[in-house]
Amino acid sequence: MEATVSKRWLLARLYDPEQTIVDCRFTLGKPQAGRESYEQEHIPGAVYLDLELDLSSPVTEHGGRHPLPDPQVLAARLSRLGISNDTRIVAYDDESGMNAARLWWLLRYLGHEQVFILEDSFGTWKAEKYPVTDHQPIRVPSTFVANVQPQMLAGVDEVRTVSEKTVAAMGDTVNSDSTAPHPVLPILIDSRANDRYQGLNETLDKKAGHIPGALNYFWKNTQNADGSYKSADELQEHFTGLDKDREIIVYCGSGVTACPNVLALEKAGYKNVRLYAGSWSDWISYEDNPIASGEK
């Protein structure tokens, strides 16, 4: 089954006792807005998880603006919400799926595969007269046991090495007439908008630019105008030129909007995709890390 589900699919299973719906709405710069929106109205039966309080850990010197939550802390939070390892989870938001994708990625990182994203926003759900409520469900605690999948992550040291070797290989290609192949390196993908990638318009982080050697694939370009994900064929065309046999490391500003790109890459048939969770905001927290600007 694909990682996304339709409104009709969810409506038909709205009161399935083996399922938990999770509202992930969150507005950067307005940390209370998501919970307030949830308390006003949400999909019936939904519980709420906050991007910064539940799906991230406190900000420190390194780790970026949204460091990954401690797996045991998140597992305890899920348990209190009545979510077990057998629960099917459907997540939604009103931000083009980026926060829901963060939960999707985190749950898979904890070893939980039965997690899906509603392919439409809450706003679309409501506009099309699907049911909403302000009732907050009473949840019976359960037990969720984390089975962490460390291979899904790439750390700053590895990203630094990949960046250095990629830039060196690019230089060798330009300056050499040799046709000998270069060692196969992971591909770095920057998920931010192109103006941020180029360093032309940085409003969230202290430094502008991108990790040297990274390619730019804006995460919103994986979606249709209504916020639903493009088909597998469309995504394959979108990622044309990326070798499916190579490893891919995806980052963004803080590790959130990279998650929709991870989902889209997997949907397009890329099997070896990892997340640099700290992303750009972690990269620039190390003074010696180089910064590139422009299209290269």
CA distance to 2, 166, 197, 210, 213, per residue, from 296 (Å): 34, 11, 9, 9, 7
**252 catalytic, yes or no?**
yes
- From the list 211, 208, 227, the residue with the least C-alpha distance to 219 is 227
**What is the spatial distance between Cα 154 and Cα 189, in angstroms, rounded to a whole number?**
12
The residue annotated as part of the active site, out of 100, 252, 262, 275, is: 252
CA distance to 95, 126, 241, 266, per residue, from 261 (Å): 14, 26, 16, 8
- By residue count, the chain amounts to 296
Listing DSSP states for the chain in one string gives --SEE-HHHHHHTTT-TTEEEEE---BTTBTTHHHHHHHH-BSTT-EE--TTTTSS----SSS-SSPPPPHHHHHHHHHHTT--TT-EEEEE-SSTTHHHHHHHHHHHHTT---EEEESS-HHHHHHTT---B-PPPP-----------GGGB--HHHHHHHHHHHHHHHHHHHH----PPPPP-PEEEE-S-HHHHHTS--SSSSS-SB-TT-EE--GGGGB-TTSPBPPHHHHHHHTTT--TTS-EEEE-SSSSTHHHHHHHHHHTT---EEE-SSHHHHHTTSTTS--B-TT-
List, by residue number, the catalytic residues.
252
